[in-house]
Amino acid sequence: MKKTGILMPVSALPSTTGVGELGWASYQWIDIMKENGVKIWQILPLNPVGFGNSPYQPYSSCAGDELYISLDLLFEDRLLDKKPGKFRENAKRVDYTAVRAFKESYLREAFEKFVAGDGQKDPAYVDFTSQDWVYTYGVFRALKLDNNGDCWNDWKAEYKNWSGDKSVLSENVEKEARYQCFIQYIFYTQWMAVKKYANEAGIEVMGDVPFYVGLDSVDVWSGKDNFLLDTDGRPIFIAGVPPDYFSATGQRWGNPIYDWDYLKKNKYKFWVDRIGYSNKLFDIIRIDHFRAFDTFWKIPASCPTAIDGEWIEAPGYEVIDTLNKELPGVNLVAEDLGELRPEVLELKNHYHLKGMRILLFSIDTKGKYARDISNDIENVIFYTGTHDNDTLMQWYEGLTVAAKRKVREFLKKQGIKVGNIKDRLLTYVLKSKAEYAIIPLADIIGLGKEGHINTPGTVGSPNWEWHIVDFKKAKEELARYKNLIMNR
C-alpha cells in the first residue's frame, strides 16, 4: 500500500512559547494530516539537544528534550498555579536559549508541586523511573549543571567515573537528578499521548535515530567501554565522512567511534537497548547514516578535518540480525544517501529495508534534456528533499534558465502539465512507484531559503531554528494535494 508522509519537526510546530510542543498544536497537526490522507508523520530526533542545538548531538539516546513539554498541559494537570503567558508566539525562528530560560521556572514549579502532592509514589511514575537509564540520565544532567556545563571528561574523577554510588552525590545534585527524572516522565507521558492520538488517526510516526551518539552524552559517560576512548575519556578516533557534495574537506562530526569488538562480546546490548527504547516511541525508525553499518569513516581525533581517515568495515549483518531477534517486528528504514559501495545496498536489500531517493539529486539537467537518474522502484522512500537539503523551491530557483526549462520539459514528457512548478514537482513524487512518498512541510507550502532546516558541515544559527507561526498555509496547500495523496 502506498503512503504519503510529511516531514515536520516537532520543534517547528506553532506554539505560544517560541518552540513546538507536545500540546494543542501536535494534536491539531495530526488532525490536519488525517483530513488530507497523510499516513506518516516523520520527525527529527526528540532527544535533548547539545552542541549547536543539533538533534544529532544529543545528551541521551533515550531522554526527551524538556523544550517540547507543553506548559498548558502542566497547567491542566494542576502542576502549575497559573496558565503561562505567551512568549515569542509569532517567532519564525526558535531561540533555544531564550525559550529554555522562559520555560525553566514553570518546569521547576511543576516539579515542586508534583513532589508536594506525592506524585513520586504514583505507580506509573515508579514504573517509568525504574528503567535503568532514567536515574542515570538524571545524575548526568545534574552533574553537568554542577560542573558549569563542562563535558563529563573534564569532571573530577569520582564524577567522571561514577559507578552508581549515591553517597558521593551532594544533596543538591541528588535533588536535581530527581527533577530531571520528573522531566523525563512528563515528556514521555505527553509524547506517548500524542503518538496514541496519531495511531488512532491512522498515522504512523517515523522517528530518527542517529547512527552515532554525542561524546558529551550519558550514553558515553555511563558506557565508556562501548567506545574507543583513552584513559581520560577522550576519543582516540572520531566519526565523520570524507569530502563529498556538501564539503570539500569532508565533515568532521566529532562523535566517538564504537568499539565493535567490545559490543560483540556483549551481544550488541547497547544497540538493542537503544533501538528497543526507540521502538516504544515510534512506529518506524529511520537509521541516519545507515551506511556505517557496512563501513564507517574513522578519523584520528588529532586531525582538524575529515580528509585524513580510512574506511573500516562494521559488523552490520550481526547487529541487524541481533536487533531482529531481540526486537521482533521492529520497523527500520535506512538513510542510504551519498556515495556508497555496492555492499551497503546489499546489506539494506538483504533485510528488505526501504532506502531513500531524493528528487533534488534525481533530476539531472547536465545533458540536452533533463532526466531522472535514479530508479523508480517500490521499496523506497521518495523525498523531495530532507532536513539537510535546500528546499524544493530554493533548489529550483537556483537552477539556470536553461536547466529550469529542461525540468519543465521533463515533467511535460511525464504527462505532468498542470499547475505551477511546485505543483508539478510534487505531483511527480506523489505519482511515483515508491511505497512511501515523504515531503517536508516547507516544500508543501512552497518556502524558499527561509524553510531550509540545516546546512551540513556548519554549526549554530540558523540551523535547526525553522518555526512556523500557524497552520493556515499548511491547511490550504495540503487541501490542494488531497486527491493526489488519497489516490496514491
* Contact present, 485 and 430 (Cβ < 8 Å): yes
Which is catalytic among the residues 21, 65, 388, 443? 388
pTM of the model: 0.96
Can you tell me whether residue 399 is helix, strand or coil? coil
The pLDDT of residue 124: 96
Catalytic residue among 288, 294, 443, 465: 288
Give the CA distances from residue 258 to residues 197, 213, 236, 243, in Å, rounded to whole numbers and listed in that order: 37, 9, 11, 22
Known catalytic residue at 388: yes
Q: What is the pLDDT of residue 247?
A: 81
pLDDT by residue for the chain (488 residues), tens only, comes to 899 999 999 999 999 999 999 999 999 999 999 999 999 999 999 999 988 899 998 999 999 999 999 999 999 999 999 999 999 999 999 999 999 999 999 999 999 999 999 999 999 999 999 999 999 999 999 999 999 999 999 999 999 999 999 999 999 999 999 999 999 999 999 999 999 999 999 999 999 999 999 999 999 999 999 999 999 999 999 999 998 776 889 989 899 999 999 999 999 999 999 999 999 999 999 999 999 999 999 999 999 999 999 999 999 999 999 999 999 999 999 999 988 999 999 999 999 999 999 999 999 999 999 999 998 899 999 999 999 999 999 999 999 999 999 999 999 999 999 999 999 999 999 999 999 999 999 999 999 999 999 998 788 999 999 999 999 999 999 999 999 999 98
Is position 127 annotated as part of the catalytic site?
no
Q: Is the CB of residue 439 less than 8 Å from the CB of residue 5?
A: yes
Amino acid at 6: I
Residue 321 designated active-site: no
Residue 80: helix, strand or coil by DSSP? coil
Catalytic residue, chosen from 65, 208, 335, 443, is: 335
Quote the DSSP letter at residue 49. B
Measured CA to CA in angstroms, residue 105 lies from 60, 112, 120, 169 at distances of: 23, 11, 20, 24
Query: What is the residue extent of each domain of the chain?
Result: 3-108+197-487
Task: Locate 243 and state its grid cell.
Answer: 569530502
Residue listed under C-alpha cell 540480525: 321
Cα 91 off chain centre by: 22
DSSP secondary structure letters along 259-297: -HHHHHHTTTHHHHHHHHHHHHH-SEEEEETGGGGTEEE
Rounded to 5 degrees, φ, ψ at 93 are -135, 145
Q: Pseudo-torsion of CA 181, 182, 187, 190, nearest 10°?
A: 140
For 3-108+197-487, which CATH superfamily applies?
Answer: Glycosidases (3.20.20.80)
Question: Burial level of 152, CB count in 10 A (0-12/13-18/19+)?
Answer: buried
| Cα–Cα distance measured from residue 389 to residue 335, given in angstroms and rounded to the nearest whole number | 14
Within 13 Å of residue 290, how many CA atoms lie on the same side as its CB? 27
